[in-house]
């Protein structure tokens, strides 16, 4: 029983100590908050100069709570930190709503530069990487229409250059041999039945055999040689259907081939395609017909000009780019597919609108601002809608009319001042409103 009494007394003592400590801390906090509210409530308007009672141009400010300002050195009533001396000219003049007033000496020291907003057309340009590729419209496949065996291969490596009509290979085909024999037999019948009623039927058979040879890409010259010799050839030569470079070779000498099998792929490299990677935000003005200047890293002296021929309908989801195609002439085959290049695309001039330097725009998330100079050291942050950007300038769709003076350099300093002014104004208004409410409460209940 005695042990229980001791434990109960100890627990009661601990509860009393905790309650006393809590009461003391709450009283200290309430006192500090009330002191801060009192100081803030008595803050006059007019910026830091309003606190300079002795006229020495120096006031003392709490670095952690800038709304606490005194005219004499001391400590902040809320946190006990030493107040920092501040010149009233270094601060901002909280005069007209939304504007900032900067002392001319401060403006000169910070290097603020102004520029006039001009209304002019803007020709957008973009500089992008590009790659040279084979012109797909100049590709030709060599695929025989008959089956057989390759007896002789004249073009035996990739990269070889051929001209239209050059021999590619000789093919032996039993079906081709039998068709030659049918043609010679029909030819002899035509000659024997000349002038008789059966000549017409013989000629129809001859023409049928001739068409079959032509459908197999046997040339007229080869057919004339067949008529001259009167003997079928074991092999017939297949010739290049177009001039170009052998990009692919899928046959070796002695190989059996099937009808329709692709043996060669030829490409005419006298013109190439330049595929330009265009970012998504530039696609609105990259259209067929715009001019392009092209430079090549391998030879800076080579400068080419071309025009956008086609803009592809798909977008790469990884790089967020689409491709614009430019047809590039390639005299002497100096340019090679796979080379990199740099293309500068020149868009058509847009209608005249206000133009500002890109460096004059201050961006916060999705919003854009410029700092308009009102004169006599006054500045007004103005929200704008930005259009195309090119050559260091940005087109303003909304917010400016033209002719305004704006800050082109050190605008971040002024914008920071404006935002600090807005924040201080809100804090001071809140403190004053809170103090007024506390003052009015007794009267309300009286």
What pLDDT, in 10s, does the model give residues 135-146? Answer: 999 999 999 988
Q: Is residue 441 domain-resident?
A: no
Decide: 99 and 397 in contact? Cβ < 8 Å: no
Domain boundary residue among 294, 328, 346?
346
Q: How confident is the model at residue 63 (pLDDT cuts 50, 70, 90)?
A: low
Mark whether 109 and 182 lie in a shared domain: no
Residues 55-59: what's their mean pLDDT?
Answer: 77
What pLDDT is stored for residue 150 in this prediction? Answer: 95
Mark whether 117 and 129 lie in a shared domain: no
Asked if pLDDT for residue 100 goes beyond 80, the answer is no
Q: How confident is the model at residue 84 (pLDDT cuts 50, 70, 90)?
A: confident
Lowest average pLDDT, out of 5-19, 41-55, 85-99, goes to 5-19
Q: Is residue 434 domain-resident?
A: no
Containing structural domain, residue 403: 100-121+351-420
Mark whether 130 and 188 lie in a shared domain: no
SS3 assignment for the chain: CHHHHHHHHHHHHHHHHHHHHHHHHHHHHHHHHHHHHHHHHCCCCCCHHHHCCCCCCEEEECCCCCCCEECCCCECCCCCCECEEEECCCCCECCCCCCEECCHHHHHHHCCEEEECEEECCCCEEEEEEEEEECHHHEEEECCCCCEEEEEECCCCCCCEECCCCEEEEEECHHHHHHHHHHHHHHHHHHHCCCCCCHHHHHHHHHHHHHHHHHCCCCHHHHHHHHHHCCCCCEEEEECCCCEEEEEECCCCCCEECCCCCCEEEECCCEEEEEEEEEHHHCCCCCCCCEEEEEECCEEEEEEEEEEEEECCCCECCCCEEEEEEEEECHHHCCCCCCEEEEEEECCCCCCEEEEEHHHCEEECCEEEEEEEEECCEEEEEEEEEEEEECCEEEEEECCCCCCEEEEECHHHHHHHHHHHHHHHHHHHHHHHHHHHHHHHHHHHC
What pLDDT is stored for residue 4 in this prediction? Answer: 46
Q: Is residue 440 domain-resident?
A: no
Residues 55-81: what's their mean pLDDT?
Answer: 75
Burial (CB < 10 A; 0-12, 13-18, 19+), residue 250, is middle
Mark whether 170 and 225 lie in a shared domain: yes
What pLDDT is stored for residue 329 in this prediction? Answer: 92
Mark whether 30 and 48 lie in a shared domain: yes
Q: Is residue 283 domain-resident?
A: yes
Mark whether 234 and 166 lie in a shared domain: yes
Domain boundary residue among 224, 243, 261?
261
CA dihedral over 153, 158, 164, 166, signed as positive or negative: negative
Q: Is residue 387 domain-resident?
A: yes
Name the domain count of the chain. Answer: 4
Residues 408-433: what's their mean pLDDT?
Answer: 53
Lowest average pLDDT, out of 82-96, 239-253, 397-411, goes to 82-96
- CATH code of 307's domain: 2.40.30.170
Q: How confident is the model at residue 159 (pLDDT cuts 50, 70, 90)?
A: very high
Mark whether 179 and 225 lie in a shared domain: yes
Q: Is residue 436 domain-resident?
A: no
Q: Which residue would you say has higher pLDDT here, 318 or 431? A: 318
Decide: 35 and 15 in contact? Cβ < 8 Å: no
Q: Find how far residue 285's CA is from the centre of its chain.
A: 13
What is Dmax (Cα atoms) for the chain? 151
Q: How confident is the model at residue 347 (pLDDT cuts 50, 70, 90)?
A: confident
What pLDDT, in 10s, does the model give residues 163-190? Answer: 999 999 999 999 989 999 999 999 988 8
Asked if pLDDT for residue 275 goes beyond 80, the answer is yes
Closest CA to 69 of 56, 88, 55, 89: 88
Mark whether 106 and 185 lie in a shared domain: no
Q: Is residue 175 domain-resident?
A: yes
Asked if pLDDT for residue 22 goes beyond 80, the answer is no
- CATH code of 376's domain: 2.40.420.20
Phi, psi values for residue 300, rounded to 5°: -60, -20
Domain boundary residue among 219, 235, 261?
261
Mark whether 46 and 189 lie in a shared domain: no
Mark whether 149 and 212 lie in a shared domain: yes
State the average pLDDT for the chain.
79
- Take residue 3 and report the two structure tokens written for it: 């042990």
Asked if pLDDT for residue 50 goes beyond 50, the answer is yes
Q: What pTM value is reported for the model?
A: 0.59
Phi, psi values for residue 297, rounded to 5°: -60, -30
Mark whether 302 and 358 lie in a shared domain: no
Decide: 355 and 120 in contact? Cβ < 8 Å: yes
Mark whether 206 and 298 lie in a shared domain: no
What pLDDT is stored for residue 415 in this prediction? Answer: 55
What pLDDT is stored for residue 378 in this prediction? Answer: 79
> How far apart are the C-alpha atoms of 341 and 131, rounded to whole Å?
6
Q: Which residue would you say has higher pLDDT here, 60 or 250? A: 250
Residues 85-89: what's their mean pLDDT?
Answer: 67
């Amino acid at each position: 029983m005695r042990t229980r009494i001791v434990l109960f007394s100890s627990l009661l003592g601990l509860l009393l100590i905790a309650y006393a400590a809590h009461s003391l801390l709450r009283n200290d906090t309430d006192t500090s908050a009330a002191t801060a509210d009192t100081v803030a409530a008595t803050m006059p308007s007019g910026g830091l100069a309003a606190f300079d009672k002795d006229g020495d141009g120096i006031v003392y400010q709490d670095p952690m709570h800038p709304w606490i300002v005194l005219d004499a050195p001391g400590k902040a009533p809320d946190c006990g930190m030493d107040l920092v001396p501040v010149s009233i000219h270094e601060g901002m003049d909280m005069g007209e709503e939304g504007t900032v007033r900067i002392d001319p000496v401060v403006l000169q020291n910070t290097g603020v530069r102004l520029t006039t907003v001009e209304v002019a057309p803007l020709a957008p340009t973009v500089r992008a990487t590009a790659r040279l590729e084979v012109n797909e419209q100049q590709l030709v496949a060599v695929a025989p229409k008959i089956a057989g065996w390759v007896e002789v291969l004249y073009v035996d490596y990739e990269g070889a250059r051929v001209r239209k009509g050059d021999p590619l290979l000789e093919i032996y085909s039993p079906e081709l041999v039998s068709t030659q024999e049918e043609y010679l037999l029909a030819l002899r019948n035509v000659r024997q039945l000349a002038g008789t009623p059966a000549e017409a039927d013989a000629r129809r058979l001859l023409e049928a055999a001739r068409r079959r040879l032509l459908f197999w890409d046997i040339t007229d010259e080869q057919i004339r040689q067949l008529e001259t010799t009167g003997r079928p050839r074991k092999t017939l030569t297949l010739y290049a259907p177009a001039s170009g470079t052998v990009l692919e070779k899928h046959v070796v000498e002695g190989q059996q081939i099937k009808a329709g099998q692709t043996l060669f792929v030829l490409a005419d490299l006298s013109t190439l395609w330049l595929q330009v990677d265009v970012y998504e935000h530039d696609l609105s003005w990259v259209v067929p017909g715009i001019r392009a200047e092209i430079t090549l890293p391998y030879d800076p002296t080579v400068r080419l000009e071309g025009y956008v021929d086609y803009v592809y309908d798909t977008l790469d989801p990884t790089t967020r780019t689409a491709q614009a195609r430019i047809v590039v002439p390639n005299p002497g085959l100096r340019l090679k597919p796979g080379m990199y290049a740099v293309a500068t695309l020149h868009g058509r001039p847009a209608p005249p609108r206000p133009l500002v330097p890109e460096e004059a725009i201050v961006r916060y998330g999705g919003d854009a601002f410029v700092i308009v100079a009102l004169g006599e050291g006054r500045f007004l942050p103005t929200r704008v809608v930005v259009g195309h950007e090119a050559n260091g300038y940005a087109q303003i769709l909304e917010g400016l009319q033209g002719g305004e003076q704006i800050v082109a350099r050190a605008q971040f300093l002024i914008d920071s001042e404006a935002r600090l002014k807005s924040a201080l104004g809100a804090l001071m208004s809140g403190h004053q409103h809170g103090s007024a409410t506390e003052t009015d409460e007794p009267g309300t209940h009286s």
